[in-house]
Amino acid sequence: MDPERLIQCPYDKNHQIRACRFPYHLVKCRENNKKIAKELATCPYNARHRVPRQELSLHIATCENKVSQELEGAASAFTARTREVTAFQSPPSQEDWEADAVEAPAPPFVFGASRIPRIPHTLTTLPECLALPQPRSQNPPHFDHTPRMLGSPTAAFPESLTP
């Protein structure tokens, strides 16, 4: 629906309202025209549709929004049947978080305190399984780091390609 399209107000035929403002106008105009509001009924398929009460059954039978509502109902019924057929029940969990918390309670949280365990000073070397890997050399071994002068003849060529 075009939001700038003009729609006629059901309470006052002189009101032409933009579609984007129509729901707000309906609320305001219904309160200003309570006598007319009692004579109009709201469509069950689209709350923007206000029709005289005696014409409601005819409107319901011919409402343009009824088709989409029926399709949605059919789709939800299909989804419900699909869920019944494919419903998977997971086995009951063997975990008991409360019992685990009692057996091994977590240390209290202290803001700013580190949770990294400290190594006792008596240990001077770590076993191999706990030893940290040695840092790699930052420079690859094939790269030559000898300084070159910008104007030298070998500056543009690596040593292996020099004439």
Domains of the chain by residue range? 6-64
Question: Is the Cβ–Cβ distance between 45 and 69 less than 8 Å?
Answer: yes
Mean pLDDT, residues 58-77 taken together: 75
Mean pLDDT, residues 130-159 taken together: 59
Q: How far is CA 98 from CA 101, 103, 114, 137, in A?
A: 5, 9, 26, 48
Q: What is the pLDDT of residue 30?
A: 92
Question: Is the Cβ–Cβ distance between 51 and 41 less than 8 Å?
Answer: yes
Q: What is the pLDDT of residue 158?
A: 56
Q: pLDDT over 90 for what percent of the chain?
A: 31
Question: Is the Cβ–Cβ distance between 30 and 11 less than 8 Å?
Answer: yes
pTM score over 0.85:
no
CA distance 163 to 158: 10
CA distance 48 to 124: 81
Summarize pLDDT for 108-128 with one digit per residue, the tens.
778 877 666 665 555 555 566
Local structure of 51: helix, strand or coil: strand
